[in-house]
Amino acid sequence: MADEDETKEYRWESGYEKTWEAIKEDDDGLLESNVADLVARAKRKRAALKATGAIQLGMMRHLFVVVDASACMFLQDLKPTRFLCVLKLLEVFVHEFFDLNPISQLGILTTKMKRSEQITVLAGNQKKHIEALQHLKDLSCEGEPSLQNSLERAMNGLKNMPAHSSREILVLFGSLTTCDPGDIQKTIKSLKDNNIRVSIIGLAAEVRICREIAKKTGGTYNVLIDDHHLKELILSQVQPPAVAGSIEASLVKMGFPGGTPTLNDGTSDSSADHAPAYCLCHIDSETSSLMGPNGYNCPQCGSRYCELPVECKQCGLTLVSAPHLARSYHHLFPIKPFVERAQVPDATHCFACAKLFVEAETNVYECENCNQIVCLDCDLFIRETLHTCPGCASDPVTAQMKTN
């Protein structure tokens, strides 16, 4: 958040923060080991959550994000305000979401004045969403939110999505109350019947109905502690969730638009593929211009798109490129969580980053497959970013095993 410094309020405007209360002395009256312990524990906890093992994941996700825009979103306990902070984080989320789930779609709703408004429809184009989020910043927050109205609206959008996709709603809920027109229990029931998973992130305190909705629909409910925690919570929604169970494996038809857009040497098999054409993504906008030869053509109907992945507007085919699929691939085979070990005497340094183990580091982590020892930071890096164990990958025997 670059502009955070400009809008930051004065110290005396913020709340009473008793930072000293979080810190406790250990038996020797020292603070350091305790703090290190706390940090390590939190990190591990997060990592452990993600190590779900080999279960079927809903990789093709349809997600509605509902943003609370009621009066309480103007509170300043998140800087600069709750609303701006949430929007900022959502931008990051949208970006990460499409990065990790390239074949998924996303839509945005807001709720205020007991009503719900659609900001963007379900679509796979991240630019549009980010643009819409930036426009939202000028929105004034007022009135009470309505959980039921926004859930109903999201449900209407999700109901008709194909059965093999994972249908989800993510609610960012700042208010402690919801003003609903009818019985919310009925809404919960139909959400459940439609196999829609609702996850809620509360910005203030635990609200019972939110917990109930999340529990009944199989989603998660979390309440933030501060803005760092909020970021963590929002980003944890990026990972595709395990499938609710009832969804059967099915074949999905996908199109792989041929040709590379940068090539202009005419080596492509058909010259029609690179003839200048209007792209369908921008055809609605006023400023649309004739595209050059660059772009992706739908293999089924030949429509032109300037970006992938996208769902063909003409014939409804999902258009992706091979790297997109490959990026989703690691979700299917997450690496096994490393085992926590107390300091092993014969291992002096981390296998991955070659850092020397020092006294302060109490625990190291071992891959069960190749028995290499890594440090905590590498453990997290491998799990969150790399998705492959450097030990296994560099050992020809295990690497062979894996490909088999």
Partner 1 sequence: MKLNVDGLLVYFPYDYIYPEQFSYMLELKRALDAKGHCLLEMPSGTGKTTTLLSLIVAYMKAHPLDLTKLVYCSRTVPEIEKVMEELRKLMNYYEKEMGMEQNILGLALSSRKNLCIHPSVSKEREGKVVDGRCYSLTASFVRARHAADDAVPICDFYEGFDAHGKEFPLPPGVYNLDDLKEYGQMKRWCPYFLARHTIIHANIVVYSYHYLLDPKIAEVVSKEISKTSVVVFDEAHNIDNVCIDSMSVKITKRLLDKCSNSITILETTISNMKENDSKRLEKEYKRLVEGLRDATIARETDMALVNPVLPSEVLEEAVPGTIRTAEHFIAFLKRVVEYIKTRLRVQQVVQESPAGFLRDIHTKVCIDRKPLRFTAERLASLIRTLEISDLTDFSPLVTVSHFATLVSTYTKGFTIIIEPFEDRAPTVSNPILYFSCLDSSIAIKPVFNRFQTVVITSGTLSPLDMYPKILDFHPVIMTSFTMTLARPCILPMIVSKGNDQVAMSSRYETREDTAVIRNYGNLLVEVAAAVPDGIVCFFTSYLYLETIVSSWYDQGIIDQLQRHKLLFIETQDAAETSLALINYIKACDNGRGAVLLSVARGKVSEGIDFDHHLGRAVLMFGIPYVYTQSRILRARLEYLRDQFQIRENDFLTFDAMRHAAQCLGRCMRGKTDYGIMVLADKRFSRADKRSKLPKWIQEHLKDTNCNLSTEECVQICKRWLRQMAQPFSREDQLGISLLTLEQLQSEEMQKKIQQRAQGV
CA–CA separation, 305 vs 277, rounded Å? Answer: 9
For residue 26, which phi and psi values (nearest 5 degrees)? -85, -170
H or E stretch covering 172 = strand 166-173
State yes or no: residue 77 binds partner 1 (CB under 8 A): yes
* Best CA proximity match to 319, nearest among 329, 327, 311: 311
State yes or no: residue 202 binds partner 1 (CB under 8 A): yes
* Best CA proximity match to 58, nearest among 182, 318, 294, 241: 241
State yes or no: residue 223 binds partner 1 (CB under 8 A): yes
Q: Which residue, 124 or 337, has its beta carbon nearer to partner 1?
A: 337
Residue 146: CB minimum distance to partner 1, A: 10
Site string for partner 1, 22-61 (x = CB under 8 A): ----------------------------------------
Q: Which residue, 178 or 239, has its beta carbon nearer to partner 1?
A: 178
State yes or no: residue 224 binds partner 1 (CB under 8 A): yes
* Best CA proximity match to 300, nearest among 287, 318, 283, 286: 318
CA–CA separation, 94 vs 115, rounded Å? Answer: 24
State yes or no: residue 208 binds partner 1 (CB under 8 A): yes
State yes or no: residue 19 binds partner 1 (CB under 8 A): no
State yes or no: residue 228 binds partner 1 (CB under 8 A): no
In our burial notation (b when 16+ CB lie closer than 10 A, e otherwise), range 165-204 reads: bbbbbbbbbbbeebbbeeebeebbeebbeebbbbbbbbbe
**Binding residue (CB under 8 A) for partner 1 from 11, 19, 27, 205:** 205
Site string for partner 1, 145-184 (x = CB under 8 A): --x----------------------------xxxxx--xx
* Best CA proximity match to 374, nearest among 356, 386, 387, 360: 356
Q: Which residue, 31 or 176, has its beta carbon nearer to partner 1?
A: 176
Q: Which residues bind partner 1 (CB under 8 A)?
A: 15-16, 72, 77, 144, 147, 176-180, 183-184, 202, 204-210, 222-225
